[in-house]
Chains A and B, each alone.
Chain A
Amino acid sequence: MIRNFIISGAGGQGVLSIGTILTNIFMLNGKFVSFSPCYGAEMRGGAVNCEINASDEELFCIQNKEVDFVVALNQTSFDKFISKVKKNGTIIVNSSLAKINKTRDDIKYIFAPLTQEALNLGNIKVANSIALGILSKITDNFSIENVKKAYEKILKDKKELIQKNIEAYFIGYNYIQER
């Protein structure tokens, strides 16, 4: 089975960070996986996105017309990438920064106030990890060992942030069942 993801938002929201963490988790789970960032003259606040493909078999396409899951961390990326969700696919939207608005009826929506939840946790920067937690819950239910390993690898120079991000991850992970 092949699954693909687009993670999008503004520069500084940690789009590429959770993209890399997600890719690492898939790798640790023994999947074939590719990570391709949009790149360019990006700056803090500019649009950033990356596409991740994960598969049990050898993977060929690294860019797809449509994807199974989109994470949109702000309004601009919600508007831009809603058209990239496959029919019956899912979009996770940061409702703290984007209006709740269902323009398509052939996809599933998860609106979650990621920025607000992150602020409640005391660090606005971990909104991305909350989104990753939600994504984990609705996809592979990743083992926590591998999630921790991936965070430890990516945040090896910022060890003090690992615990907070994993807390945020669990807030996202538990978000679905609470509602």
Chain B
Amino acid sequence: MNEKELLKGNIAIAKAALNCGCKCYFGYPITPQTEIGEFLSGEMQKRKLAYVCAESEIAAINMALGAASTGAKVMTSSSSCAVSLMQEAISYASSDELPIVIVNVMRAGPGQGYIFPSQGDYNQATIGGGNGDYKTIVLSPSSVQECVDLTYKAFYLAQKYRTPVILLADGMLGQMAEPASITENPYPEIDNSSWILDGAKSRPAREIHSLEPSQNKLNRHIIELYKKYTTIEQNECDWEEYNCDDIEVLITAFGTMARHAKALCNHYRKKGIKMGLFRPKTLYPFPYKRLNELSQKVNVVIDIEMNMGQMLKDVRLAVLSNAKVSFIGKPTGDMLREEEMVDASKNVLKEYYANI
């Protein structure tokens, strides 16, 4: 079980979902995440689980809502422009407090864009594209192994907090392959018997809906939701620090881009510049506090993303006036190469280092 095998990111997500008890998958094919549905279509049939290739992404996520209300572990997956179609249902699921896992293997936008990798949905995922006061947990894997680990975590957090969780990967990670192991799911099962709709035999009837005509009740509901979000913010921030013990310059990056950012850190370390990387693994809740602490040690923070600067505003909110914040990014296509990042960062660093 724990032996390493060569796995694509998409397949790793699908295998991990099955391994932690996903009972229902609803989806519609779209590059670059189609392998998730393709793999599950065979495997779920073999295991007599529910796989539905829906007629659209809107149908898929609403099926997921229905299945989740019965207590089944459910997942849907899609990519950028089609995740846009799911925003209304994510808002509903947040209000209904339904645990669903939504995988977004990002491609280029805006609009239809194309199938190139991108990190352009940071804002959509972390802020949310649906209506009303709600927040969605967002997990950001950086390697195929993390596609496994964070899929487990996504299911766990969804059940634990009764809330939708987005696993935000990108086309590069979905399509690339590297050695990884399908480890055991480390998280405990959550008892959901107090709220699921399972037939009301020998118990009073229950309802799950977001409609609430009483303004007092609706206010109370939203305030309760926000108490939950506060708990999530206090307990669930997760991040990685790479060579941050003695930093002079701090890089921030998430997902696949953070891998290349590590190469940039090593490049400058060899030149005597103490550069480290801060990588949030949870994009919501964003680890503001830790980033703030780290930024107090440096003059400059360089944020690197495969978009035009979306996490940048969260980095600024964390860093405040502790350090200058610069940005290196490009919207889509091939990932920024080490050489391109070196060139772009020279302009920022020459202010602090004469011989760069």
Contact = CB atoms under 8 A, between A and B. Distances in A.
B259 A61 contact: yes
B334 interface: yes
Interface in B285-342: 334-335, 337-340
Interface string A62-75: 11110000000000
Given A39-B115, A40-B115, A63 B6 contact: no
Contacts of A64: 337-338
B266 A33 contact: no
A40 B176 contact: no
B263 interface: yes
A63 B4 CA distance: 22
B6 A62 contact: no
Contacts of A27: 4, 6, 179
Contacts of B240: none
Given A27-B4, A60-B266, A64-B338, A35 B177 contact: yes
Contacts of B24: none
A151 to B, nearest CB: 14
B22 to A, nearest CB: 25
Given A35-B176, A35-B177, A37-B175, A60 B31 contact: no
A23 B266 CA distance: 24
A48 B161 CA distance: 44
Contacts of B337: 61, 63-65
Contacts of A32: 179
A37 B178 CA distance: 12
A20 interface: yes
A68 to B, nearest CB: 15
Interface string A1-17: 00000000000000000
Contacts of B338: 61, 64-65
Given A23-B6, A64-B338, A33 B178 contact: yes
A33 B32 CA distance: 21
A96 interface: no
Contacts of A33: 178-179
A20 B6 CA distance: 9
4 closest Cβ contacts across the A-B interface? A60-B263, A36-B176, A35-B177, A60-B262
